[in-house]
Amino acid sequence: MNPMLNIAIRAARRAGNIIAKGYERRDELQTVKKSENDFVTNIDKASEAAIIEIIKKSYPEHTIICEESGALVGTDSDVQWVIDPLDGTTNFIKGLPHFAVSIAIRVKGRTEVGVVYDPIRNELFTAVRGKGAKLNDIRLRVEDKRELKGTILATGFPFKKTALMPLQFAMMTSLANDVADFRRTGSAALDLCYTAANRVDGYFEMGIKAWDIAAGDLIVREAGGLVCDFKGGHDYLTCSHVVCANPRIIKDILNKIQPILPENFKV
C-alpha cells in the first residue's frame, strides 16, 4: 500500500471514531457559530487534532491545510495534506447520519491520494493517482450513461452566500427539464464519492472550499469521471464552484448551466 495512503486511512479512521462517539453523545456537543449558517463543534476540533497528530508523527515536515486551524506550514511545502475533519457539520449537529472525514494529499500542486471516510456506515472511499478508486475493497467505475435524461444529480445550496440562491434555483430549473430528480445531502465530499460509486449520476455546487472536495475530486477522476468548474476549466479547487459526472453527462450539465451564469461569473 502507498505509505501516505496508509497514514491517511489511519488518520481518517481515528477521526471517524471520535466523530462516531460524539454522535452518540450529542447532548455533550459544544457548538460555535463561525459565520452566518456556518458552525464548528468540539468534535470538528477533536477530529482535526487527531488527524494532525497522526500526520505529524510520520511526516513532521509536510504542510497541513485544515478547515479549522488554517495552514500549518512545514519545511516541505511541496507536500500538502488538505483536511476537512467533519464534512457535513450541520447534519452532525442535527443528528442526521450523513457526514465524513476528508483527507487529500497534494504533491507539487497535484492530488496524489484521496481518502473520504463515513464513520456511521463504515464506508472508506480511497484513490491513488493512476491506481484507481475503491469503496472499501471494491473497485469503483463511473457508469457510462449516454444522456442527461433520467439522471439523479446531487447538489448543495450556497447557504453561506444566500445572494447566490436565485442562480442556484435557475440552474436547477434548467436541468429539471431532463433530470429525474435532485439530491441535496449536506456533504460535498460524499456527493463526489457517491458519483464515483454511481449512487448519483453527477454533482454540482457553488460556494465550496478546497478541503470540501480535494479528496473526492481524485476519487471521481480515478473512477473514470470528469471534474471541472462551471466554465469547464480546472480551477475548481480555487474558484468555489464544481461539477462532476461521466464525460457524456458533464457536457450536458455544462450546456444547461453555462447560459444562465452572469457575465464575469465569480463566487
Report the CATH fold assignment for 152-260. Answer: D-Maltodextrin-Binding Protein; domain 2 (3.40.190)
The residues pairing with 113 across neighbouring beta strands, listed in sequence order, are 105, 128
Nearest-CA neighbor of 195 among 229, 237, 223, 230? 223
216 contact partners, CB below 8 Å, separation of at least 6: 102, 114, 116, 125, 188, 189, 190, 191, 192, 193, 196
Torsion of CA 128, 52, 59, 188, to 10 degrees: 20
Strand ranges (DSSP E) for the chain? 31-35, 38-41, 62-66, 70-72, 76-87, 100-107, 110-118, 123-128, 132-135, 138-139, 152-156, 181-183, 202-206, 226-228, 241-245
- The answer to whether residue 59 scores a pLDDT higher than 70 is yes
Residues 6 or more apart whose CB falls under 8 angstroms from that of 103 comprise 8, 11, 12, 51, 81, 82, 83, 113, 114, 115, 116, 215
Instruction: Fill in the amino acid letter for 206.
Output: M
Selection from 245, 219, 242, 246 nearest residue 229 by Cα = 242
**Cβ distance 113 to 129 under 8 Å?**
yes
Q: What homologous superfamily is domain 3-139 in, according to CATH?
A: Fructose-1,6-Bisphosphatase, subunit A, domain 1 (3.30.540.10)
Residue 261 cell numbers, joined: 451564469
At 73-102, the pLDDT tens digits run: 888 889 999 999 999 999 999 999 999 999
How many other β-carbons are positioned within 10 Å of the β-carbon of residue 157?
A: 18
What's the pLDDT score for residue 245?
A: 97
Measured in residues, the chain has a length of 267
Q: Is 237 helix (H, G, I), strand (E, B) or coil?
A: helix
- Whether residue 25 is predicted with pLDDT greater than 90 in this model: the reply is no
Cα(3)–Cα(20) distance, integer angstroms: 26
Work out the pLDDT band at 161, boundaries 50, 70, 90.
Answer: confident
CA 173 to chain centre: 24
What is the value of pTM for the model shown? 0.94
Mean pLDDT of 25-51: 78
User: Would 3-139 and 152-260 be classified into the same CATH topology?
Assistant: no
What crossing angle do the helices spanning 247-257 and 165-176 adopt, rounded to 10°? 120
pLDDT in tens, 187-242: 999 999 999 999 999 999 999 999 999 999 999 999 999 999 999 999 999 999 99
Beta carbons of 161 and 184 less than 8 angstroms apart: no
Domain boundaries, the chain: 3-139, 152-260
Q: Residue 263's pLDDT band (boundaries 50, 70, 90)?
A: confident
Beta pairing partners, 117: 101, 124
Burial 89-99 (b: 16+ CB within 10 A, else e): bebbbeeeeeb
Whether 89 and 39 have beta carbons less than 8 Å apart is answered as yes
